[in-house]
Structure 1
Amino acid sequence: MIYELRQYTLWPGKREVLVELFDREFVEGQEATGMRIDGQFRDEDRPDRFVWVRSFPDMARRAASLQAFYGGPVWQAHRDAANATMIDSDNVLLLRPAGPVWELPTERRPQETDSLLTASIAYLPEPVTQDFRDFFAAEVAPITPVIASFETEYAENTFPALPVRTGEHVFVWFTRDEAPPAVPALEGWLAKPLESLRLSPTARSLLR
């Protein structure tokens, strides 16, 4: 599976406009082309940030699904309204699983909850090594409820109309707690400080 972690910077006051539009129009519209919308979130620390995750069976089908959606009627009908909310939509990490990944419900039942997830992004000086995976399994995973972990996917972007970040090496994990415990030994592995995203699911997010 291939995953995208997408962070959008929005114009002030426009996040709820995009959340409503996304949940109403862009979930089934994208999934009809063969991708899955795993989760969509409000960033609790950045009021003008919208974060979401989608996934694809592989890079070839990613290209086909994106072409079908962005060339199709749903996006064409609503793209102007969506784009009007956004300052930047290019903050995108292309990822592959680095271990077990979340199990999602089979039905999307709209619900408002006060659940909170944290996405932690570790920036490494080189591609993820087995030594780092072993360190993570031994030192990080046992003290925080990790529900999924990912690392950089280095395959060529198969849909260049939508840029992804390149030249970086990341390890990303999601937890269902507000503030995962600090792991001082982790700092020795990092190229720059750990990035943490506190995420509250929208009403139609599968991941919550």
Structure 2
Amino acid sequence: MTVLELRQYSLHPGRRDELVALFEREFVESQEELGARVVGTFHDLADPDRFVWVREFADMGVRLAALRGFYGGPVWKEHRDAANATMIDSDDVLLLEPVGAGFPTASRAGVGEGRPGPSRVLAVLRLGSGGEPDAAAAQRLLGAPVVVARTASYVNDFPALPVRDEKAVVVFAAFPGAKEVAAARRAVEHAWQGEHLQVLELEPTARSAYR
């Protein structure tokens, strides 16, 4: 069973571009060589000092080995001080499992290289939700292909990186632009009113695979 981490970092004012540049240069291939897949990296459009990213592991055993290898390895040791200097908090993390197919595998190409595809991502966190998520209903509601995930029941066996002890269902969808995202957001907030929602409107960074 694939394991996902949705990670939201609060940064010191004005430091996001610095972190993104460092992350994309040093922390993508170095994690993937160890068994993690960096699914997506995003600017939070509502908060210029928030960086959001998703990584994926084949299972919890692969996750443990990859985290030990990366955070105990030379790349993180060389660059951790520079990365941590940009951050106020990096502990806002949900440990998830996909419902259905999960994230598609996509090539990682830079902006300006003729890469087609959506340029905005909506991530809707239905917090406190312990019910069975309905991917088909979410796709009809948002009007776009979705990736749905729910809180994984696994124990976090790498306590150096805490995760939130909270049930959640998270829906991701990618759109061509701001107009389509706004319409999807209105539909979500109307249909799921009364729920505890966190709605993230995200812009993929240059090397984000999911976009």
Contact 2:139 2:146 in 1 (8 A): no
Shift in Å, 1:153: 0.6
Shift in Å, 1:185: 4.2
Contact 1:62 1:158 in 2 (8 A): no
Which of residues 166, 169, 183 in structure 1 aligns to 2:167? 169
Shift in Å, 1:10: 0.2
TM-score normalised to structure 2 length? 0.87
Shift in Å, 1:124: 2.9
Distance 1:56 1:81 in 2: 26
Task: Give unmatched runs, 5+ long, in structure 1.
Answer: none
Q: Which residue of 2 aligns with 1:154?
A: 153
Q: Which amino acid aligns with 1:141?
A: Q
1:10-59 CA-partner distances (Å, limit 9, x unpaired) = 00000000000000000001111111000101000000000000000111
**Secondary structure of the structure 1 residue equivalent to 2:163:** coil
TM-score normalised to structure 1 length? 0.89
Tell whether 2:205 aligns with 1:207: no
**Secondary structure of the structure 1 residue equivalent to 2:52:** strand
Shift in Å, 1:104: 2.4
Q: Which amino acid aligns with 1:202?
A: T
Q: Which residue of 1 aligns with 2:28?
A: 27
**Secondary structure of the structure 2 residue equivalent to 1:182:** helix
**Secondary structure of the structure 2 residue equivalent to 1:92:** strand
Q: Which residue of 2 aligns with 1:43?
A: 44
Distance 2:75 2:63 in 1: 18
1:150-197 CA-partner distances (Å, limit 9, x unpaired) = 00012100111000000x111101112323142444335x3x2x1111
Distance 1:35 1:141 in 2: 27
**Secondary structure of the structure 1 residue equivalent to 2:159:** coil
**Secondary structure of the structure 2 residue equivalent to 1:22:** helix
Moved over 4 A (4+): none
Q: Which residue of 1 aligns with 2:127?
A: 123
**Secondary structure of the structure 2 residue equivalent to 1:187:** coil
**Secondary structure of the structure 2 residue equivalent to 1:24:** helix
Distance 2:152 2:44 in 1: 24
Q: Which residue of 1 aligns with 2:192?
A: 186
Q: Which amino acid aligns with 1:84?
A: A
Identity of aligned residues (%): 49
Distance 1:97 1:128 in 2: 14
Task: Give unmatched runs, 5+ long, in structure 2.
Answer: 176-180
Q: Which residue of 2 aligns with 1:137?
A: 136
Q: Which amino acid aligns with 2:124?
A: S
**Secondary structure of the structure 2 residue equivalent to 1:46:** coil
Q: Which residue of 2 aligns with 1:109?
A: 109
**Secondary structure of the structure 1 residue equivalent to 2:187:** coil
